[in-house]
């Protein structure tokens, strides 16, 4: 049993670090790890993942520095749609076919990756290439609010259905659609996913789908990993962070599409 807990802690540590760096909440790594490595039921993995997403958000918030953190005003406005979607997704988790969810998941993630890539090429000028991009630029004004709110509702619904936090949609949408600097988008997503996950985690807990003996060591690792990832993020160049984001989105989209098509 101690080795089992240590393994959960190690997986959480890695998921929290990557989740904080990319604003994805860590759940995108936890669900496959808990089901494939530890052979846990999918419902338990999703419930623990939601707790992990909350831990990532808390870890990032605990070490955020002035000028390097979330845009709280933007987050609270977008979170109205995200939380509503999370509640609907949590209620629907018991009856939506898994193949349908996997294919929908893949389509949305793939579209987010392609849009972010095209947006990057379109906005990068010869005098201000991506290597000069300011991750935490303050003189910005979010745009395309309707599209942003609609996407946040989808992100919340997928969070409730799959336990992934929805950060894989929130970061590209804020960055590519709403013109929020990438560093600010990542920090804001980390702030938001905790609230989104909490909304649906209550539903999973009430159904008995969250095992405390699994959730506690995993969440502890995620919390410490999120603190480390948050401290590392400002030291990375924008182009490095963006390539990590796009590459990870493409890998996730391919895996979920294969799962949906194969019926796995």
Instruction: Give pLDDT, residue 124.
Output: 53
Residue 255, pLDDT above cutoff 90: no
What ranges do the domains of the chain cover? Answer: 2-262
Q: How many residues does the chain have?
A: 264
CA–CA distance, 35 with 11 (Å, rounded to integer): 12
Position 211 confidence tier, pLDDT thresholds 50, 70, 90? confident
CA distance between the termini of the chain: 29
Report the mean per-residue pLDDT for the chain: 79
The string of DSSP codes covering 239-254 is HHHHHHHHHHHHHHHH
Instruction: Give pLDDT, residue 217.
Output: 92
**Are the CB atoms for 160 and 89 separated by under 8 Å?**
yes
Instruction: Give pLDDT, residue 116.
Output: 67
**Are the CB atoms for 218 and 8 separated by under 8 Å?**
yes
Instruction: Give pLDDT, residue 88.
Output: 87
Percent of residues, the chain, with pLDDT higher than 90 = 15
For helices 72-92 and 145-162, give the axis angle rounded to 10 degrees: 40
For the whole model, what pTM was predicted?
A: 0.66
Could you count the other beta carbons within 10 Å of the beta carbon of residue 72? 13
CA–CA distance, 34 with 42 (Å, rounded to integer): 8
Residue 127, pLDDT above cutoff 50: no
């Amino acid at each position: 049993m101690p080795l089992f807990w240590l393994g959960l802690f190690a997986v959480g540590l890695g998921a929290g670090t990557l989740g904080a760096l990319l604003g994805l909440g860590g759940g995108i790594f936890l669900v496959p790890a808990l089901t494939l490595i530890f052979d846990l039921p999918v419902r338990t993995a999703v419930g623990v993942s939601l707790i992990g997403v909350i831990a990532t958000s808390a870890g990032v918030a605990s070490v955020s520095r002035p000028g390097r953190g979330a845009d709280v005003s933007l987050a609270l406005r977008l979170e109205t749609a995200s939380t509503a979607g999370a509640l609907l997704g949590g209620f629907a988790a018991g009856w939506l076919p898994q193949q349908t969810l996997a294919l929908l998941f893949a389509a949305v993630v793939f579209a987010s990756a392609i849009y972010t890539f095209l947006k990057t090429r379109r906005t990068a000028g010869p005098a201000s290439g991506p290597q000069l991009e300011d991750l935490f630029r303050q003189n910005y004004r979010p745009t395309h609010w309707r599209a942003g709110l609609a996407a946040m509702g989808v992100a919340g619904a997928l969070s409730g259905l799959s336990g992934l936090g929805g950060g894989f949609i929130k970061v590209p949408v804020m960055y590519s659609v709403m013109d929020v600097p990438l560093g600010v988008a990542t920090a804001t997503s980390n702030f938001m996913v905790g609230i989104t996950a909490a909304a649906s985690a209550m539903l999973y807990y009430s159904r008995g789908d969250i095992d405390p003996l699994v959730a506690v060591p995993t969440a502890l690792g995620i919390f410490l990993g999120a603190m480390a990832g948050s401290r590392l993020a400002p030291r990375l160049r924008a182009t490095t962070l963006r390539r990590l984001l796009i590459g990870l989105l493409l890998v996730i989209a391919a895996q979920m599409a294969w799962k949906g098509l194969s019926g796995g």
